[in-house]
């Protein structure tokens, strides 16, 4: 059976973890194909809120294998801690986790590098999570990176790890306190990497065998399309590719092995960090959405910027990813709003419609043109029936469906696993 890709259609935080959790119920494996410790996928299981950063969401399902692809960047220390936390919650990881030996490692020095880079950029800073993702990708493409498979030769790996540390201490001019901290962190980094190297494998071969035997594999993306370095709001983007096509590269799959692409989008828009956001609400309405939706980063805890649904961006992302169908999340957050606004197109100057979509510097000057839709007062939290939804809620979903040109097959109405409507 071919694979299914799950990817975010906005700036991340769309609720991909819950969607993957549902789809993985009958899957053999869930494979993360992008991102690193900067990701935050949250699933509520049996009343417990589980936030995953590097581990595939499928590990919350008994017997499902977890796979981390080659294009991810791996923080060994954070991963070992995350595995321990999951075990403490009663989820046995055991031998269910496989990691590509080609995955690049986030050396602790990368966080010091990133902190200094953001400081130097000042007001022009990207607003990163501070997890060292960017510098790790830089070393990767400079062909100086450390990969998990390098730890198969421990002494050589140790020499190279210490070399990165010394290079950073010298290049950044670290003071004594930071230098001593980095030395301790590097020792822990090396220890955790050596603990993980026995999980290194050829994930392309692992996935190929599962698919050939008729099993299902869910490819789980991180962040969102609008944070993709090629197709997102550059330069305010992440460094790893977030679009569906990246799954083939990271997991070593040919495109013909992909059966469908599932896009996940919120019923409104949010983003973390700096960068353009045409429909942002810097008012009481935006604050109300933030509080009702608990819009604070699972990784950083930072408050997310909130705004109305952007149909231009959603249509762009759905087309770019080749979505077969979509999941709309957090519809329940919009209960109680008398009116809802949806961006249906942009204008650059009054009266001038844009036909060429841009994601670069000019996007911040685009003026959203809104359609006003009636809201609904009823609390729909936990609703599982499409027919029981208020008429205005159903009309809102169908309006977004028309804008994106892709069917909304499922609707999340709350944080719990069971708070989901499936449309036939």
Give me the CATH number covering residue 352: 3.90.170.10
140-181 pLDDT, tens digit per residue, is 999 999 999 999 999 999 999 999 999 999 988 889 999 999
Angstrom distance (rounded) from CA 270 to CA 286:
10
Angstrom distance (rounded) from CA 172 to CA 115:
10
pLDDT at 277 over 90: yes
- Which residues on neighbouring strands pair with residue 352, listed in sequence order? 349
Q: Which of 212, 239, 262 is the last residue of a domain?
A: 262
**Strands, E, within 20-173: which ranges?**
29-32, 41-45, 48-52, 65-68, 73-74, 97-100, 104-105
Are 75 and 205 found together in one domain? yes
Q: Per-residue pLDDT averaged across 388-407, rounded?
A: 97
Residue 96: predicted pLDDT: 96
Q: Per-residue pLDDT averaged across 66-80, rounded?
A: 96
Residue 417: predicted pLDDT: 85
Give me the CATH number covering residue 124: 1.10.300.10
Are 303 and 368 found together in one domain? yes
Structure tokens of 157? 């790996």
Are 213 and 75 found together in one domain? yes
Are 171 and 269 found together in one domain? no
Q: Per-residue pLDDT averaged across 390-413, rounded?
A: 97
pLDDT at 341 over 80: yes
Are 143 and 207 found together in one domain? no
Sign of CA dihedral 216, 220, 224, 225: negative
pLDDT band at 353 (very low <50, low <70, confident <90, very high): low
Q: How far is CA 93 from CA 41, 62, 120, 135, 199, in A?
A: 17, 9, 41, 29, 12
Residue 302: predicted pLDDT: 81
Are 148 and 117 found together in one domain? yes
pLDDT band at 261 (very low <50, low <70, confident <90, very high): very high
pLDDT at 43 over 80: no
Give me the CATH number covering residue 18: 3.40.440.10
CB 226 within 8 A of CB 313: yes
Other CB atoms within 10 Å distance of the CB of residue 370: 16
Least confident of 92-96, 145-149, 294-298: 294-298
Are 84 and 138 found together in one domain? no
More confident residue, 2 or 189: 189
Least confident of 5-14, 41-50, 253-262: 41-50
Are 294 and 372 found together in one domain? yes
Provide the whole-model pTM: 0.92
Q: Which of 168, 197, 226 is the last residue of a domain?
A: 197
Angstrom distance (rounded) from CA 100 to CA 148:
8
Catalytic residues: 13, 41
CB 129 within 8 A of CB 300: yes
pLDDT band at 37 (very low <50, low <70, confident <90, very high): confident
pLDDT above 70 coverage of the chain, percent: 94
Residue 44: predicted pLDDT: 73
How much is the mean pLDDT over the chain? 91
Specify the number of domains making up the chain: 3
Residue 172: predicted pLDDT: 87
Are 172 and 247 found together in one domain? no
CB 285 within 8 A of CB 294: no
Are 309 and 408 found together in one domain? yes
Structure tokens of 178? 């930071």
Are 187 and 222 found together in one domain? no
Angstrom distance (rounded) from CA 323 to CA 334:
25
CB 309 within 8 A of CB 270: no
Q: Which of 197, 228, 249 is the last residue of a domain?
A: 197
Residue-number span of the structural domain to which 86 is assigned:
3-100+201-262
Least confident of 17-31, 86-100, 173-187, 292-306: 292-306
Residue 1: predicted pLDDT: 57
């Amino acid at each position: 059976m071919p694979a299914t890709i799950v990817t975010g259609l906005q700036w991340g935080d769309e609720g991909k973890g819950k969607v993957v959790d549902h789809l993985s119920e009958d899957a053999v494996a869930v494979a993360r194909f992008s991102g690193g410790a900067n990701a935050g996928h949250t699933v509520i299981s049996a009343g417990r809120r589980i936030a995953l950063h590097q581990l595939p969401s499928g590990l919350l399902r008994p017997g499902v294998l977890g796979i981390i692809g080659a294009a991810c960047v791996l923080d060994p220390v954070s991963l070992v801690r995350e595995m321990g936390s999951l075990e403490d919650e009663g989820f046995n990881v055991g031998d269910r986790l496989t990691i590509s030996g080609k995955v690049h490692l986030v050396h602790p020095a990368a966080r010091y590098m990133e902190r200094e880079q953001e400081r130097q950029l000042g007001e022009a800073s990207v607003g990163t999570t501070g997890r060292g993702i960017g510098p790790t990708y830089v070393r990767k493409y400079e062909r100086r990176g450390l990969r998990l498979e390098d730890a198969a030769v421990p002494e050589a790996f140790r020499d190279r790890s210490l070399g990165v540390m010394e290079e950073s201490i010298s290049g950044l001019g670290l003071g004594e306190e930071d230098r001593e901290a980095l030395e301790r962190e590097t020792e822990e980094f090396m220890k955790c990497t050596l603990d993980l190297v026995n999980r290194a494998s050829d994930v392309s071969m692992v996935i190929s065998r599962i698919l050939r035997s008729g099993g299902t594999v869910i490819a789980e993306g991180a962040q969102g399309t609008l944070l993709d370095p090629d197709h997102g709001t550059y330069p305010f983007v992440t460094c790893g590719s977030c679009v569906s096509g990246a799954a083939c590269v990271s997991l070593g799959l040919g495109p013909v092995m992909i059966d469908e692409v599932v896009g996940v989008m919120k019923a409104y828009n949010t983003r973390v960090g700096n960068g353009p956001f045409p429909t942002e609400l810097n008012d009481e309405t935006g604050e109300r959405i933030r509080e009702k939706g608990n819009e604070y980063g699972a990784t950083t805890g930072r408050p997310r910027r909130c705004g109305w649904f952007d149909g231009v961006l959603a249509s762009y992302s759905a087309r770019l990813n080749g979505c077969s169908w979509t999941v709309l999340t957090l519809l329940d957050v919009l209960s109680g709003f008398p009116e809802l606004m949806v961006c249906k197109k942009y204008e650059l100057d009054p009266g001038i419609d844009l036909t060429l979509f841009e994601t670069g510097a000019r996007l911040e000057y685009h003026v959203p043109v809104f359609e006003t839709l009636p809201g609904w007062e009823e609390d729909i939290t936990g609703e599982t029936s499409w027919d029981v939804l208020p008429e205005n809620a159903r009309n809102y979903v169908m309006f977004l469906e028309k804008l994106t040109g892709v069917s909304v097959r499922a609707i999340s109405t709350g944080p719990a696993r069971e708070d989901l409507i499936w449309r036939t």
